[in-house]
Structure 1
Amino acid sequence: MSEVLLQAAGLRLAFGGVRAADGIDLAVMGGEFLAIIGPNGAGKTTFINMTTGYLRPQSGEITYEGRRITGMAPRAIVKLGIARSFQLPQLFLEHTVEQNLALAVASREGIWSPLAPLRRPRYREEAHDLLERFGLAAIAGTRADALNEGARKLADIAMAVALRPRLLLMDEPTSGVAASEKMAVVETLARVLREAKVTAVFVEHDMDVVERFADRVAVWSQGRIAALGPPQEVLADPAVQRDVIGIERHPATPEAPHA
């Protein structure tokens, strides 16, 4: 049985009268792909922000590998082995894809100069290896502002993987990606992350993606976890279909009696 990698216990956070986290309890198991689904405003991104240090819960705690990380700064959390990607890709648009990856590799070692990483062969070599793994080698010399959304998402997540995390949190990795590209993008992500033995938590609205790639699904509703379990079980729940997926099941109409 996998060990608990990340544990959230009793997380609460309110913005005015809105409860973004209202007693969140969740254990993320090592090696799993956990999907978080739910309507807009349910608190999904708030959970990622608390886990990665961008927000601090008003109560409750988060532990990673048994160590309390509640309230730690984002950079300190990254150094422990937790990385994230954002809904909007965070790329240096004036740089090429390879240069973006080289900068990410260098930042892992605490080098933040915009030029030094681009001059050192070992950073470029590691960047090229990541590009090969993510299927981006053919566009290594392309500026980030010329990429389509699918390639931008892959490059953004490749930069997160360059940090060598053990846990990666992704906020809507298929947001903005063309429907014809979604499955290919997620297949690439899943392959690379599983090969690297990276545990993944991802917020997602495409239920086909969730059903195909998630090991477990957590349903967020008004700052709480309303359901948690295997995708086949959770996505078949009538309440989840009605409130999250948007399917209303009506009782069958009884047949009229025969004359």
Structure 2
Amino acid sequence: MTPPILETKGLSKSFGAVTAAKNLHVQIHKGEIVGVIGANGAGKTTFINMVTGYLPPTAGEIRMNGQDILGLSPRAITRKGLARSFQVAQLFPELSVLDNLLIALAAAESAHPSFLRPLRTRARIARAEEILEEFRVPAYRDARVTAVPQGTRKLIDIAMAMIGEPEMLLLDEPTSGVSVDEKGDLMDTVIAAVRNHGLTVLFVEHDMDVVRRYVSRILAFYSGEILADGPPDAVLANERVRDLVTGHAIHAPSRQGSSVV
């Protein structure tokens, strides 16, 4: 039987007397698009940071494709095929969008990239332009990052996370700071790219309409624990999730032409 692409057992994290995550048992299978919901401080980002190597757990196991990845550095975990983006886009703000992509491409080519060699090669530029087209932002090719909209910055950050051809992508609040009008188009673009590359996705999100529209499964966090885990309709109808996480019932979206999963 094929092991889950990502699995945690008894994963916990304490900061002194404060427990940020407690006994988290999670299995994510290939091809899933999983949404993670919960109030601030519920343990969502702590979970993401532990499985990507940015935060050592106090206890528990982390496996990817059946292999132990506990204790590996973020870069080593990325090279195992588990990539992530951040709530605040991790870009070089004074450089152009193109140059940001070229740096990411150069870094992905080798475990020990040398930036003494020319950055702007014909092959890298051609690949960067393909990425810009896939993420529907070719108009910003030569724009400085500081001059592009927040939604575009998020798309570039996610595109850069995908450059190493990971198996699984973790997104920390991909629509944070993005206007309501931009969110649907941004997520349509991201999900189309994810499906095109056959990626498994787990993303943290506060906007319940976004979660309901795009995911195949929801993990609801509360006070460092998983309150509910299952299909969107079931989790969002769960009485405890309504009381402790969303505060209200979430209804199916009515947006025309959206990519509903």
TM-score (norm 2): 0.91
Query: Structure 1, unaligned stretches of length 5 or more?
Result: 249-259
**C-alpha contact (below 8 Å) 2:36/2:220 kept by paired residues:** yes
Instruction: Tell me the amino acid that sits aligned with residue 36 of structure 1.
Output: V
Where does residue 84 of structure 2 map in the other structure? 84
Please state how far the C-alpha of 1:18 moved relative to its aligned partner: 1.5
Mapped pair 1:5 → 2:5: yes
Instruction: Tell me the amino acid that sits aligned with residue 13 of structure 1.
Output: K
**C-alpha contact (below 8 Å) 1:216/1:229 kept by paired residues:** yes
Instruction: Tell me the amino acid that sits aligned with residue 235 of structure 1.
Output: L
Please state how far the C-alpha of 1:2 moved relative to its aligned partner: 7.6
**C-alpha contact (below 8 Å) 2:102/2:120 kept by paired residues:** no
Where does residue 236 of structure 1 map in the other structure? 237
Query: What SS does the aligned partner of 2:237 have?
Result: coil
**C-alpha contact (below 8 Å) 1:12/1:20 kept by paired residues:** yes
**Aligned positions, number:** 248
**C-alpha contact (below 8 Å) 2:82/2:169 kept by paired residues:** yes
Query: What SS does the aligned partner of 1:119 have?
Result: coil
Query: Structure 2, unaligned stretches of length 5 or more?
Result: 250-261
Distance 2:56 2:65 in 1: 19
Query: What SS does the aligned partner of 2:5 have?
Result: strand
1:194-237 residue CA offsets vs partner (Å, 9 max, x unmatched) = 11001110000000111010000000111111100000111111
1:36-68 residue CA offsets vs partner (Å, 9 max, x unmatched) = 000110110011111110111111110001110
Identity of aligned pairs, percent?
Answer: 46
TM-score (norm 1): 0.92
Runs of 4+, deviation exceeding 6 Å = none
**C-alpha contact (below 8 Å) 2:105/2:124 kept by paired residues:** yes
**C-alpha contact (below 8 Å) 2:9/2:25 kept by paired residues:** yes
**Alignment RMSD, CA only?**
1.6
**C-alpha contact (below 8 Å) 1:34/1:216 kept by paired residues:** yes
More moved, 212-221 vs 231-240: 231-240
Where does residue 197 of structure 1 map in the other structure? 198
Please state how far the C-alpha of 1:116 moved relative to its aligned partner: 3.9
Instruction: Tell me the amino acid that sits aligned with residue 4 of structure 2.
Output: V
1:15-40 residue CA offsets vs partner (Å, 9 max, x unmatched) = 12221110000000101100000011
Mapped pair 1:184 → 2:191: no
1:58-103 residue CA offsets vs partner (Å, 9 max, x unmatched) = 1111000111001101111111111100000000111111111111
Distance 1:13 1:161 in 2: 28
Distance 1:115 1:48 in 2: 34
Please state how far the C-alpha of 1:108 moved relative to its aligned partner: 0.8
Where does residue 23 of structure 2 map in the other structure? 23
1:126-162 residue CA offsets vs partner (Å, 9 max, x unmatched) = 1111111000111111111111110010010000011
